[in-house]
Structure 1
Amino acid sequence: MSYSIYHDLVIKSDKLSVFKAISEPDHLEKWWPLKCSGIPQVGKEYNFNFTDTYDWYAKVQNCKTLEHIHYKMTKSDADWDSTSFGFDLNEVETGIQVKFWHINWRECNSNFKKSSFCWAMLLNGLKNYLELDIIIPFDNRS
């Protein structure tokens, strides 16, 4: 059995801006990791650096510009290593619907529960970044 995290939100923005924010390192750094590198192409590696201890890597599993990007964790911690996460974008009347998922968690442990909460907070930070140009300082991101 595996466990999954799902969050949906609508961002009042255009698809290009949202896609850049979930796939380009200089935009990802505005709402998620402290430092980031990578190219939004299938098979390319991303580095999501949070601290020296949390210096994680993922590969792009699937990517279609303006539509989606999906990552597979390759080097992180024991709980995250088995997981994949992604963002699927759809235009809706009020903006861009972001369907976020983080799947294949081995157990519903405290790290899973904390990650679900943190993703909700971070995705709200993504929304505020794109809609209001608010960047929450890295140390204040939960």
Structure 2
Amino acid sequence: MSFSIFHNLVINTSPEDVFHAVSQPKHLDNWWTLKSSGKPEQGTEYNLNFTDQYNWFCKVSKVAPNKSFHLKMTISDEDWNPTTFGFDLEEETGSTLVKFSHINWREANHEFKHSSFCWAILLKGLKDYLEKGTVIPFEDRS
């Protein structure tokens, strides 16, 4: 048995803008990571750095420009290692429906529940980044 996190939200911008914000390091660093690297191409490696203690790696497991972007964790903590998270995008009139998933958690433990809460906050940060241009300094992100 595995456990999954799902969040849907509407962002008032194009799927292209959302895709860039979730797949390009220069944008990831504005709403999620301290510093990141990688290219949105199938099988390529991403480095997601939050601190020296949380310097994680993953690989692109699914990519369709302006439609879908998923990363499979390869080096992270014990709870995150078996997981894959991603964004599926559907164009709506003048906006994008973002279907976020973070799947294959081994157990619905504290880390799983905390991560679900944190993703909700981070996705609100993504929405504010794209709709309002808001960049919260890394040290102020929850």
| TM-score range for the pair, normalised by the shorter chain length | over 0.9
In the TM superposition, what is the alpha-carbon distance from 1:92 to its structure 2 partner?
1.4
Give the length in aligned residue pairs.
142
C-alpha deviations, 1:51-84, integer Å up to 9, x for none?
A: 0000000000010111101110000000000000
Between the aligned partners of 1:114 and 1:5, the Cα distance in structure 2 is 11
SS at match of 1:41: coil
Q: Map residues 85-104 of structure 1 onto 2, 5 A cutoff.
A: 85-104=85-104
**TM-score normalised over the length of structure 1:** 0.98
**TM-score normalised over the length of structure 2:** 0.98
Name the structure 1 match of 2:66: 66
Instruction: Judge conservation of contact 1:62–1:71 (CA < 8 Å) in 2.
Output: yes
In the TM superposition, what is the alpha-carbon distance from 1:96 to its structure 2 partner?
0.3
Q: Map residues 1-142 of structure 1 onto 2, 5 A cutoff.
A: 1-142=1-142
SS at match of 2:31: coil
Unpaired runs of at least 5, structure 1: none
What is the letter of the counterpart of residue 122 of structure 2?
A: L
What is the letter of the counterpart of residue 56 of structure 1?
A: W
What is the letter of the counterpart of residue 137 of structure 1?
A: P
Unpaired runs of at least 5, structure 2: none
Between the aligned partners of 1:106 and 1:15, the Cα distance in structure 2 is 31
- Identity within the alignment, %: 56
In angstroms, what is the RMSD of aligned CA positions? 0.7
- 4+ aligned runs moved over 2 Å, structure 1: none
